């Protein structure tokens, strides 16, 4: 269901237990915000997501005046797939394409790797539901066509990290979705090895450009991607507006 200014999000709504929508516009002034809020109230929306250009101070000021909560800085980085640099991980780490049977071993990695996202920053969603959301993302990536590929790092025959890869429009672009690493192998070159493996795999499938999204607060992820050759493509700000407070 899409209104003039909003798109209802059925999956988010079902998962978190609130009626959730996303604003379709990125730039709005004060009067337009009144129209946006009226549409949300007419559709009985509990929470509205709004993604604003970080350089658009007029929109940011209008969001703040309308009592939207700032929850996240969204950084999008990009690189040519053939330009991704590779620092080989230790010999105990091996990279390969994932199998469905990897799911159980990777489940705790998915549940604990993304705690800097906006779904944790906005505590009204609940940490348990946020954990589960990323575990579902992993499951869909491994067991359906939600992802074009999943790359796995393993140590001593056990999966310890994963990267989900998603095709985009235009057809020569792909996104690295979730990049998760078990605490026991952080700092061992696991994430960088998986990113490089993903780049080679996707390049072989005709992908020329890779994008990856991370949080402004996630300095470790930014250094990882910059070290692999990614450069910042855009900086945006996530805001949430709650029309009804959770119980």
CATH of residue 186: 3.40.630.30
Of 15, 41, 67, the residue that ends a domain is 67
Residues 157 and 189 in one domain: yes
Of 27, 45, 67, the residue that ends a domain is 67
Residues 209 and 91 in one domain: yes
CB-based contacts of 116, cutoff 8 Å, min separation 6? 215, 217, 218
Residues 61 and 97 in one domain: no
Complete edge-to-edge strand list for the sheet that includes strand 173-181: 6-8, 20-23, 47-53, 231-242, 69-80, 209-215, 173-181, 158-167, 149-155, 93-97
Alpha-carbon distance 173 to 202, whole Å? 9
> Can you read off the two tokens belonging to residue 78?
């990009």
Of 40-44, 170-174, 178-182, 203-207, minimum mean pLDDT range: 170-174
Q: Is the pLDDT of residue 69 over 90?
A: yes
User: Does some domain include residue 246?
Assistant: no
231 close to 85: Cβ distance less than 8 angstroms = no
Which residue range(s) make up the domain with 88?
Answer: 78-234
- Mean pLDDT across 13-39: 91
This model's pTM is above 0.85: yes
Q: Which residues of 170-184 are buried (b: 16+ CB within 10 A; e: fewer)?
A: eeebbbbbbbbbbee
49 close to 23: Cβ distance less than 8 angstroms = yes
Residues 119 and 16 in one domain: no
Half-sphere exposure of residue 95: CA atoms within 13 angstroms, side-chain side: 24
pLDDT band at 188 (very low <50, low <70, confident <90, very high): confident
What does the mean pLDDT of the chain come to?
Answer: 93
User: Does some domain include residue 241?
Assistant: no
Residues 86 and 26 in one domain: no
What confidence score (pLDDT) does residue 88 get? 66
181 close to 161: Cβ distance less than 8 angstroms = yes
Q: Is the pLDDT of residue 1 over 60?
A: no
User: Does some domain include residue 243?
Assistant: no
What confidence score (pLDDT) does residue 245 get? 76
Of 6-10, 49-53, 63-67, 146-150, minimum mean pLDDT range: 63-67
Q: Is the pLDDT of residue 4 over 70?
A: yes
Residues 200 and 83 in one domain: yes
Residues 169 and 117 in one domain: yes
Domain count, the chain: 2
Alpha-carbon distance 179 to 3, whole Å? 34
């Amino acid at each position: 269901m899409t209104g003039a200014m909003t798109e209802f999000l059925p999956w988010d709504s079902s998962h978190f237990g609130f009626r959730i929508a996303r604003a379709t516009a990125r730039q709005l002034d004060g009067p337009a915000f009144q129209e946006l809020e009226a549409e949300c109230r007419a559709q009985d929306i509990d929470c509205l997501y709004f993604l604003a250009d970080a350089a658009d101070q007029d929109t940011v000021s209008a969001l703040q005046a309308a009592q939207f909560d700032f929850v996240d800085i969204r950084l999008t980085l990009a690189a040519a797939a053939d330009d991704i640099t590779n620092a080989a991980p230790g010999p105990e780490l091996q990279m390969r394409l994932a199998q469905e049977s990897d799911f159980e071993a990777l489940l705790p990695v998915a549940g604990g790797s993304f705690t800097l996202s906006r779904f944790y920053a906005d505590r009204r969603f609940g940490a348990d539901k946020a954990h589960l959301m990323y575990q579902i993302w992993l499951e869909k990536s491994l067991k359906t066509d939600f992802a074009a590929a999943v790359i796995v790092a393993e140590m001593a025959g056990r999966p310890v990290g994963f990267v989900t890869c998603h095709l985009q429009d235009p057809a020569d672009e792909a996104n690295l979705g979730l990049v998760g690493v078990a605490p026991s192998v952080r700092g061992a070159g696991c994430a960088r090895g998986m990113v490089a493996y993903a780049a080679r795999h996707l390049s072989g499938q005709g992908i020329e450009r890779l994008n990856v999204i991370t949080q402004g607060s996630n300095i470790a992820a930014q250094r990882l991607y910059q070290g692999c050759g990614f450069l910042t493509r855009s900086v945006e700000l996530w805001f949430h507006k709650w029309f009804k407070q959770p119980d």
